[in-house]
Structure 1
């Protein structure tokens, strides 16, 4: 099998393994499993050095979940609930996303990945959704996914890929896109109006979702992404 090379961004956090507790570059295995099952060859991209230089060597890019984007990127002061900001990761991933979009590299953003895409293209974020929507259903408790339906835009590529107009999704986010970045269109919303997916019309494949498809059972999004990274086969 010809496995396209899929770069996946990752966390740099203190992690425990065996007898050690050390600063580590880590990623939940579910991302890797979904890429492998779809026919891709995953490679982790830590936020170190100049990962944007690797775009020309990749067949596809996934920007994975993580902490909040530093709100100074879009000219705001931090909300009290804004947390786990890693400026070095923001800098690496914004540069990586801009290079990927410019070069038409197939792109999939997941949770934080949607927020990075929107900010990289000049958009802004709602920093704490409960203030806006009046509930915590998008992140009900620490390390606990919320289960909320999302409504897909009928003309979106996401609707074409899934063959559905509504999805039940695993959510874990307290932030979301506010003002859209340049060239982005809304591909899905929650019933409370929260933007749950973005696309770049005319791009070979640029989709970002606010939920966590790597935690779900529907492989269609990963399958379509890896197929596009493999030349649309």
Structure 2
């Protein structure tokens, strides 16, 4: 049930017929894992806490640096030197003390990651490196949990949803394979702050759609964002039946393909 305070707090959300009280209850009863509390994880955590997600697992082994503050809006100047998890928890508790926050302050190894993913309903990958994304994807495929994945660098960004509960859904590995040996990070190539804010906000939106059960999630579609020209492009993505990560789960599926929508 929702308390009178919750009905008031989430009233603008509940007014939406796609959400209503039933959807808000689903959000309240849900648990999510946010991997990374940087540029993407900041708006993700802020919006999901504000929306009333019942339990949020926060994973980040890093501490707040002065260079983070240009885009990682969950942290502030007084947080410099603090654990990003502790900094985020302070801010999120101030926004919504009704949300249960579960900290993970050290890097998640394969076993720990698998255990945490098994506990939650949905995972949001807000990390900034390929190896973490691959590990998170594998854990989600193995546990059958939906994954909302975002990435941004320089003035370009990508967003997609991978849902192993759906027979037609690709996984992250179907799309990106083994990645690139010349992978760059934001600390090397730079990034504009509002772009990660945009992508993180869209990740939070996709998560709420999945948790509350409304709308058309970005499954089988890759959203490409060109911030320089303010252009959005969508690619259709099919699952690879030979994928080394998810292929064994649905052996009768179509071959991998990319088609511009």
Q: Which has the higher helix share?
A: 2
* RCO higher in structure (CA 8 A, sep ≥6): 1
TM-score of the two chains, using structure 2 as the length reference? 0.34
Larger radius of gyration: 2
